[in-house]
């Protein structure tokens, strides 16, 4: 999972930098408002960002993590916030499994 997150973040980050180099931060938003179809995609991304923030908020409260940096990043840069939140999550700890050997 971690490898997928790293590759996703790297590929999407590189493409985002390219897009910003071509049209700028505001140009990305303007393109998202250029037509009804673009508005639909933009509103869908905003809706999914809000849903992701809800999950992040709940998980952060349960795990004691700070939520505000990821919330600000999500509001400013979309999926970078949730991607980094998942990438920087502490490794899940599992209880050691005890195996019993039955002797006959």
11 occurs within a structural domain: yes
Total count of domains within the chain: 1
Share of the chain above pLDDT 70, in %: 88
**Token couple for 44:** 């869908």
In a domain, residue 55? The reply is: yes
Residue 1, pLDDT score: 87
Q: Is residue 6 a part of any domain in this protein?
A: yes
Residue 46 lies in a domain: yes
Domain boundaries, position 78: 2-87
Token pair of 69, please? 């940096």
Return all residues near 85 (Cβ < 8 A) that are at least 6 apart.
56, 59, 60, 70
pLDDT value for 73: 95
pLDDT for 29: 87
Q: What is the pLDDT of residues 48-99, one digit of tens each?
A: 999 999 999 999 999 999 999 999 999 999 999 999 999 999 876 554 555 5
Alpha carbon distance 90, 81 (integer Å): 16
Indicate if the alpha-carbon torsion angle 57, 63, 66, 69 is positive or negative. Answer: negative
Under DSSP, the state recorded for 42 is H
Q: Is residue 96 part of a domain?
A: no
Residue 40: inside a domain: yes
Report yes or no on 71 lying in a domain: yes
């Amino acid at each position: 999972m971690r490898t997928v997150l790293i590759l996703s973040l790297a590929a999407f980050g590189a493409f985002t930098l390219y897009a910003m180099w071509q049209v700028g931060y505001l140009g990305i938003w303007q393109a998202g408002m250029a037509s009804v179809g673009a508005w639909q995609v933009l509103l869908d991304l905003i809706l999914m960002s809000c849903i992701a923030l809800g999950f992040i908020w709940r998980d952060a409260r349960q795990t004691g993590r700070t939520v505000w940096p990821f919330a600000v990043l999500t509001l400013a840069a979309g999926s970078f916030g949730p991607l980094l939140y998942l990438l920087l999550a502490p490794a899940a700890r599992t209880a050691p499994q005890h195996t019993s050997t039955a002797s006959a």
